[in-house]
Structure 1
Amino acid sequence: MNNPFGVQRSDVRALVEVASIANDGGTGFQIFQSDQFREGTGGRVEFCIGGPFANNRTAGHIATYLPGAGFTPYRRDQPDSIAIVAGGSEFVREPGLREFVIMARVFPSPGARPLFLIAGQTGVTNLAAAHYLRCRFEELRRAYGADRRFCLVLRLDRPDVYGHESVHLASDITATAFAS
């Protein structure tokens, strides 16, 4: 991880993946930087991409909508130590071997448009989750319907060897993530 506060090339590719979801759905899209987007949630479909240390909107969404899930604090002296935590489970990054990302669909209020949150340990994990969402969108719709929230932890195996497509479901943390 070079700079946890910067935009990684993989994050840009993740934007392309979600743009294709929007395009396939027949809707337009706009790209905003998290520090320039000050709108509320629920008025439009939102895809929020990036870890909470690089994207302050992600940090706010996790704190607001996923009170039972989060990330261990970032430490400059141990940048690879970031872990996703949910209840008693901890998903520890093992650089190049196993890396993790939260992918959630949230409805900020009754009748609101969905918020898709992709919050990974690295840019490659964000890309993996966007790819997973694009490729399995209909499967997720069948499993959770069009109006139920979910929160998944996805695992990326050996990303240095197999890239972003080696993504698998590690755990469905829906019950834990939304518990206050």
Structure 2
Amino acid sequence: MQAGRLLGKSIAEHALQLVYGGGTRGIMGAVASGVLSAGGHVTGIIPEFLMDKEATRHSLGQLNELIVTADMHERKHKMFERADAFVALPGGIGTLEEIVEIMTWAQLGRHRKPMVFGNINGFWTPMLELLQHMRDEGFVHTAHLVQPLVVDRAEEIVPRILAAAAASKGREGEREIISKL
């Protein structure tokens, strides 16, 4: 929970906005709370059927923007469209499914947005070992497109994302110059 609040505070302090799944409980609720308490902007995107399970309607009223979707597919699509980076803090099956889908989309060339495993207290280490095993066995065919950042401390996540985005823009500029020559 502390890592979530620290990440949220960092998002707001860097004048970024949080786009997330809309839950007001658990670690993601802590991230949203951290952003809001530091004066930042939060957009929650939640399917109708999760309104009372993952969120409290009262707490959702504190968000700057709330988008209610028909289902999980629409939720993930809207989150993907609005996000410039993706962060997986420690979580359960839903978190795992979402970050794997984002990595799959990167592998398929649908985006080049930064992807981050917030490896707080080594939480994601077994998953990262599995990903390396998959690469080693040749199952990640375009491994150069699936290179998530691994960050062990919540307060370092945003600076690493910003550095990755700046480096990516630099590479894009280099490609443009090269293609013009």
TM-score, scaled to structure 2: 0.36
Q: Compare relative contact order (CA 8 Å, sep 6+) and give the higher one, 1 or 2.
A: 1
Q: Considering only CA atoms, is the larger Rg found in Structure 1 or Structure 2?
A: 2
Q: When you count helix as a share of all residues, which structure comes out higher?
A: 2
Normalized per residue, the structure richer in strand is 1
- When normalised by structure 1's length, the TM-score is 0.36
